Amino acid sequence: MDTKYIFITGGVASSLGKGIISASLGKLLQARGYRITIQKFDPYINIDPGTLNPYEHGECYVTADGMETDLDLGHYERFTGIETTRDNSVTTGRIYLSVIERERRGDYLGKTIQVVPHITDEIKRRILLNATKQPLDFVISEIGGTIGDIESLPFLEAIRQLRWELGPSRSLSIHLTYVPFLAAAGELKTKPTQTSVKQLQGLGIQPEVLVLRTEHKLSDEIRAKVAHFCNVDVAAVIQSQDLPSIYEVPVNMMQQGLDSICLSKMGLKSEHKPSLGPWLNFLERRKRATKEIKIALVGKYNLQDAYKSIIESLAHAGTYNDHKVKAVFVNSEEITHENIEERLSGTVGIVICPGFGSRGVEGKIIAAEYGRTHDIPTFGICFGMQMMVIEFARNVLGYQDANSSEIDATTAHNVIDMMEEQKNITQMGGTMRLGSYECELIEGSHTRKAYGEDRLIRERHRHRYEFNNLYQEEFESQGMKCVGINPASNLVEIIEIPTLKWYIGTQFHPEYSSTVLHPHPLFLSFIKACIHGTTEA
Ligand code: GLN
């Protein structure tokens, strides 16, 4: 199998959108009929991003096979619809862990273990791994961080070696940089790009393609200058100007020929443009959907990236309901009974966000109560669902001290409790119920209707605590129904109050599986209810 490998590195600054460029290129190659996968290499030492504070790296995205990964994998899936796995997300920590474990086992037979070749060999093995498990035409590897970081050096060395071994027809390097605009001089500056490429060249990597992020259109002159200084064809200097939506990036890249340049550099023909039909229909519909609704995102992280997948899922569902959804962040730490009405004013639906720990919990419970008592469409996700359950237990069942044992370990009414199997595990990392689990939907529920044909669904999880089944009968008799059950463990995965317009909480994270071409049914039905005020409309 002659799998080809594309490496995407970044220079000058972080946050330039390498993930979006990787996802866009993947999308274009996929649209041409190639079998692709996109993987991310993060140079930090954490074994996975599971224990990272969302303020540092944004949301933790979970794959169907239960890996806690970088949020860029979310972009890859939303763009291509192809599920990623634990093999698509690798950190320095994981690389070192496997090398050190092997060293402890004695696999290296007394050799001195070094960054080169042992760490670089392990990086190379990981780069090649996906294609050993499935037939792939292209593997796109995005390298986190910025050229010049000390910690990314082993990755770049591994790429240099691989490029040499694979040859130019099977490997390609794309470097993404930033061209700043100096307002005082009224000029776009290419020097940082030249410096960054020089650094890369110094490490033995000559990029074939440059993608320049810019806020202003680059003239042909500037592109020619960059090409000239960096040993790159002018046609291979692509500009990535700010666009109204990340979903327009693949089209922009296609118009400039990013995919065809990559193909021709690797000796493949590219006579036709890729067919982006359904994607273009989505963009068209998105543009036409100008009527805006506001949805309250009740959470503790005042940062777009912390709830990335939820925001994207709401946007997808908005487009397919011909509306523009604006997610308004409502800080749960500041919510009180007195100000909740004002904080939610102008919004037509509430999402109670996932989370861990006690900060901002009471505000989420107040939001759940407000949604329930005012019959506002309310969607609780994971921790959000748990808050709906606690609120119901306190205010309807009358257990004032009801809580999750995560927040109050001694409460007599632990309506959310730790799973039996998890009780003995004390280590923080990797002790959660992670990844896809089956869920059986109960006939006659709003949820069942939202999913359409499907009665047995699979959704992704990331949590330690669960609905406490000892209380199930009591909840149900008072009107909160358990409408999604895991058939193997009997765990409650979905609750709803069927007498309300749309009041649903899911123990799983539906936001991880909403894609541009396959929006998630629960988000679709939630937004529909928010627009029309009823699920029947
Ligand atoms: N903290 C809760 C639990 O561990 C919910 C986690 C989440 O919202 N992802 O069960």
Place of tokens 């419970």: 365
**Is 462's C-beta closer than 6 angstroms to any atom of ligand 1?**
yes
Nearest CA-CA partner of 310 in 383, 362, 391: 383
What was the pLDDT predicted at 423? 60
Higher pLDDT, 432 or 463: 463
Higher pLDDT, 339 or 431: 339
**Is 461's C-beta closer than 6 angstroms to any atom of ligand 1?**
no
**Is 508's C-beta closer than 6 angstroms to any atom of ligand 1?**
no
* Cα–Cα distance, 489 to 487 (Å, whole number): 6
Question: Cβ contacts of residue 227 below 8 Å, gap of 6+?
Answer: 210, 233, 234, 236, 237
274-282 contacts, C-beta under 8 A, 24 or more apart: 274/28, 274/29, 274/31, 274/32, 275/31, 276/27, 276/28, 276/31, 276/250, 276/251, 278/517, 279/27, 279/31, 279/247, 279/250, 279/251, 279/516, 279/517, 280/251, 282/247, 282/319, 282/516, 282/517
If you take atom 5 of ligand 1, which residue's CA is the nearest one?
383
Q: Is residue 13 over pLDDT 90?
A: no
* Cα–Cα distance, 433 to 421 (Å, whole number): 10
* Average confidence (pLDDT) over 479-505: 96
Q: Is residue 534 over pLDDT 70?
A: no
Model confidence over 161-170: pLDDT tens digits?
A: 999 999 999 9
Place of tokens 């390097």: 173
| Mean per-residue pLDDT over the chain, rounded | 94
* Cα–Cα distance, 474 to 175 (Å, whole number): 59
* Cα–Cα distance, 192 to 200 (Å, whole number): 12
What was the pLDDT predicted at 272? 81
* Domain limits, CATH 3.40.50.300, in the chain: 4-281
Q: Dump the DSSP string for 450-498.
A: HTTT-SEEEEEEEESEEE-GGGHHHHHHTT-EEEEE-TTT--EEEEE-T
What was the pLDDT predicted at 294? 97
Ligand 1 atom closest to residue 355's alpha carbon, by position in its atom list:
8
Please identify, in words, the CATH class of the domain defined by 289-532.
Answer: alpha beta
Ligand 1 atom closest to residue 465's alpha carbon, by position in its atom list:
10
Question: Which of 464, 467, 492 to probe ligand 1 with, by most ligand atoms within 8 A of CB?
Answer: 464
* Domain limits, CATH 3.40.50.880, in the chain: 289-532
**Is 463's C-beta closer than 6 angstroms to any atom of ligand 1?**
yes
* Average confidence (pLDDT) over 28-55: 90
Tell me how far the alpha carbon of residue 29 is from its chain's centroid.
Answer: 21
Q: Is residue 421 over pLDDT 70?
A: no
> Residue 417: what residue type?
D
Model confidence over 274-310: pLDDT tens digits?
A: 889 999 999 999 999 999 999 999 999 887 788 999 9
Question: Cβ contacts of residue 453 below 8 Å, gap of 6+?
Answer: none
**Is 406's C-beta closer than 6 angstroms to any atom of ligand 1?**
yes
| Six token digits for residue 426 | 């004390």
What was the pLDDT predicted at 430? 55
Model confidence over 308-332: pLDDT tens digits?
A: 999 999 999 999 999 999 999 999 9
CATH of 4-281, one of 3.50.30.50, 3.40.50.720, 3.30.460.80, 3.40.50.300: 3.40.50.300
Ligand 1 center to residue 432 CA distance, Å?
9
Question: Cβ contacts of residue 202 below 8 Å, gap of 6+?
Answer: none
| Six token digits for residue 502 | 């749309």
Model confidence over 122-150: pLDDT tens digits?
A: 999 999 999 999 999 999 999 999 999 99
Tell me how far the alpha carbon of residue 203 is from its chain's centroid.
Answer: 31
Query: 532, 520 in Cβ contact below 8 A?
Result: no
**Is 382's C-beta closer than 6 angstroms to any atom of ligand 1?**
yes
What was the pLDDT predicted at 537? 39
If you take atom 3 of ligand 1, which residue's CA is the nearest one?
463
Query: 242, 268 in Cβ contact below 8 A?
Result: no
The whole model's pTM is what? 0.94
* Average confidence (pLDDT) over 30-38: 96
Catalytic residues: 382, 509, 511
- Residues forming a β-bridge with 379: 351, 504
What was the pLDDT predicted at 431? 75
Cα torsion 337, 342, 347, 348 to 10°: value is 50
Model confidence over 48-104: pLDDT tens digits?
A: 888 787 777 789 999 999 999 999 999 999 999 999 999 999 999 999 999 999 999
Q: Which of 187-201, 265-279, 357-371, 522-536 has the lowest mean pLDDT?
A: 522-536
